[in-house]
Structure 1
Amino acid sequence: MDIRQLRDKILSFSLEDVDLGSQGYTRVLLQLFGYTGHGKSSFINSCMYVLEEGENFKEHAEAGETDHGLTMVRNAYPITDMITMVDNRGCSKMNDFERAEVYAQLGNFVPIGERVEWKDNYKAMMEALEISELEPNFSDFIVPIFVYRVRKQTSTESMQDVKTFMENCPKMTGIVPIVVLTFKTSADYLEIEKQFRLMGAETVIAIENYTKMSNIKTLGRTTDILMVIDSALRNVRFRLELPRNPKRERIERKKFMYNYIDQMKSHPERERMRVQPFYKRRERSVCGIY
């Protein structure tokens, strides 16, 4: 399949094309997660750029390379009539509450367009879950995508958090996260790919994002980015080959959230870390995103 065929395949994708039809889903939601400053927003810009004709690069999602990140609101960017990418809030130093907020974004319990706040108590988290029932979203087919910057150094504890996230995503969505390695030419991405494969990643694609300063389309860069989207859609087709119930699946995601919060409350070490002074937490670790 050449690059034009691959692009046309993505642009013409429809949930009705599979044998059992859409089964109640109305769009594919490509959910982007990762550390702050690892290139989630730049990846969205790159995806939109490769699906367009010509070389008129536009920065749809504000991108930055600092560890503080720029995305505070759960923003959505339609890349086709059927496919939307979501730039979720990234993290750099996390406690259990922030990890839970990441899962709340993954499960669509945080409305798109809403600012993501890191809560600091169990009651607030439970109330947010209940409020999400006012306008429940069960018609999005969720595909998790984990974006990781090759040249960043991440602690062992943080990588264990990533592994946990990789394991929990299929429990919530039925799909193992697609791993996108950014800045592929800046370090040995093959070694990082190996780490993610050992975590259970089934699809790992290394890319170079397009930017304002580097926007000349090349065959290799464009193909890599399109392959990420195509991999996501192949997961959707595979999952829709069997009967699905969007409402039931949302209930299962909510059960996961309740169980996760309950485990937080009953874990003494986590509770001790929660009340420990901030400077002491920093001494122990630079925590990961999940």
Structure 2
Amino acid sequence: MDIRQLRENIRNFRLDDGDLGSQGYTRVLLQLFGYTGHGKSSFINSCMYVLEEGENFKEHAEARETDYGLTMVRNAYPLTDVITMVDNRGCSKMNDFERAEVYAQLGNFIPIGERVEWKDKFSDLMKAIENTELEPNFSDFIVPIFVYSVRHQISAGEKEDVKTFMENCVKMTGIVPIIVLTFKTKGDYLEIEKRFRLMGAETVIAIENYTPESHIKTLGRTTDILMVIDSALRNVRFRLEQPRNPKRERIERKKFMYNYIYQIELHREREKPEREKPEREKHERERMRVQLQQIQHLQESQRRSDCAIL
């Protein structure tokens, strides 16, 4: 498929093209996730650029090529009148709270345009989810996309986090996340691709983003970026070949969130005695130190008393 055909397929995509129609969906939401500084915002700029004619590059999403991400607000960027790309807040360390917030973004339980704050209480996250019931969104068809820079080596901790994230994406959306490997020429992307496939990835596409400094369109770079969007739409077409119920699916995502939070809280409660053990030992050492000082003080007083008697 050449560039013109890819571009036209994306521009002309409609949710009601299949035999079962749109089934209640009105928009495809391409949800971008990943660690901070891995190129999500740059990827959005590249996607918008390759769908346009000419070489007038614009930075729609502010991007920075560092390990510190800029995205704090869950921003949306329309690619067509049907397809929208969402730049979700990236993670830095993926602790329990960040993981829960990631799934809240994935499930559309944090409104687009709202600042994403890493909460330190699960009760706050539960309230935020409940607040979305005031204006529930049933009509977005969610496609997860995970962005990872090949300049980084996947650590053991990241491997476990990403594998679990991919599995949970399937539970929440029915789609295995599309893996986008950025900075294609800056590392061994074939080795990174192999690792993601071993984790269960079905579609892995390595790209080189366009930037203000490097924006001359080339056949290879443009094709790679268009293929990511095309792969997402093929997933949508496949899922729409089967009967879907958007309202029921949102309810199931909400159940997943509540169960996920409950399991984390349960795990934290079970680990609580072990976490508190060092603190208890610290208090015990301090108590013994005070007792030892008291004994020494008594011994010294007794010694002085004995000397006075002598």
Query: What TM-score, normalized to structure 2?
Result: 0.87
Q: 1:270 to 1:101 in 2, by over 3 A?
A: farther
Give, as a single letter, the amino acid of the residue that structure 2 aligns with 1:204. Answer: V
In structure 2, what is the equivalent of residue 112 of structure 1? Answer: 112
- Separation of aligned partners in 2, 1:215 and 1:262: 47
Percent identity for Structure 1 against Structure 2:
83
Does the aligned pair in 2 maintain the 1:25–1:141 contact within 8 Å?
Answer: yes
- Separation of aligned partners in 2, 1:9 and 1:88: 26
Q: 1:105 to 1:271 in 2, by over 3 A?
A: farther
Does the aligned pair in 1 maintain the 2:150–2:186 contact within 8 Å?
Answer: yes
Give, as a single letter, the amino acid of the residue that structure 2 aligns with 1:192. Answer: I
In structure 2, what is the equivalent of residue 40 of structure 1? Answer: 40
Give, as a single letter, the amino acid of the residue that structure 2 aligns with 1:210. Answer: Y
Q: How much does 1:154 deviate?
A: 3.5
In structure 1, what is the equivalent of residue 259 of structure 2? Answer: 259
* Partner SS for 2:41: helix
What is the aligned-residue RMSD (CA, Å)?
A: 1.6
User: Which blocks of at least 5 consecutive residues in structure 2 are unaligned?
Assistant: 277-310
Q: 1:270 to 1:71 in 2, by over 3 A?
A: farther
- Separation of aligned partners in 2, 1:96 and 1:85: 26
Q: How much does 1:270 deviate?
A: 8.3
1:93-137 CA distance string (max 9 Å, x none): 232011000000000000000000101112111111111111111
- Separation of aligned partners in 2, 1:210 and 1:155: 27
In structure 1, what is the equivalent of residue 227 of structure 2? Answer: 227
1:57-80 CA distance string (max 9 Å, x none): 000000012222100000000010
Q: How much does 1:268 deviate?
A: 3.6
Does the aligned pair in 2 maintain the 1:24–1:246 contact within 8 Å?
Answer: yes
In structure 2, what is the equivalent of residue 140 of structure 1? Answer: 140
Higher RCO (CA-CA < 8 Å; seq separation 6+): 1
Does the aligned pair in 2 maintain the 1:78–1:84 contact within 8 Å?
Answer: yes
- Separation of aligned partners in 1, 2:203 and 2:270: 32
Give, as a single letter, the amino acid of the residue that structure 1 aligns with 2:209. Answer: N
Does the aligned pair in 2 maintain the 1:265–1:271 contact within 8 Å?
Answer: no
In structure 1, what is the equivalent of residue 56 of structure 2? Answer: 56
User: Which blocks of at least 5 consecutive residues in structure 1 are unaligned?
Assistant: 277-290
* Partner SS for 1:141: strand
In structure 1, what is the equivalent of residue 211 of structure 2? Answer: 211
- Separation of aligned partners in 1, 2:19 and 2:56: 38
Does the aligned pair in 1 maintain the 2:28–2:82 contact within 8 Å?
Answer: yes
- Separation of aligned partners in 2, 1:240 and 1:271: 43
Q: How much does 1:271 deviate?
A: 5.5
Query: What TM-score, normalized to structure 1?
Result: 0.92
* Partner SS for 2:46: helix
The size of the alignment, in residue pairs, is 276
Give, as a single letter, the amino acid of the residue that structure 1 aligns with 2:70. Answer: L
- Separation of aligned partners in 2, 1:182 and 1:52: 21
- Establish whether residue 155 from structure 1 lines up as the match of residue 155 from structure 2: yes
* Partner SS for 1:15: coil
Q: 1:272 to 1:91 in 2, by over 3 A?
A: farther
Give, as a single letter, the amino acid of the residue that structure 2 aligns with 1:36. Answer: T
Q: 1:139 to 1:182 in 2, by over 3 A?
A: same
Q: How much does 1:272 deviate?
A: 4.7
* Partner SS for 2:8: helix
Q: Which runs of 4+ in 1 moved over 2 A?
A: 268-273
In structure 1, what is the equivalent of residue 198 of structure 2? Answer: 198
Q: 1:268 to 1:186 in 2, by over 3 A?
A: same
Give, as a single letter, the amino acid of the residue that structure 1 aligns with 2:69. Answer: G
Q: 1:3 to 1:193 in 2, by over 3 A?
A: same
Does the aligned pair in 1 maintain the 2:94–2:161 contact within 8 Å?
Answer: no
When Rg is computed on C-alpha atoms for both structures, the one with the higher figure is 2
* Partner SS for 2:36: coil
- Separation of aligned partners in 2, 1:126 and 1:71: 23
- Separation of aligned partners in 1, 2:260 and 2:62: 32
* Partner SS for 2:185: coil
* Partner SS for 1:267: helix
Give, as a single letter, the amino acid of the residue that structure 2 aligns with 1:253. Answer: R
* Partner SS for 1:148: strand
In structure 1, what is the equivalent of residue 65 of structure 2? Answer: 65
* Partner SS for 1:124: helix
Q: How much does 1:232 deviate?
A: 0.1
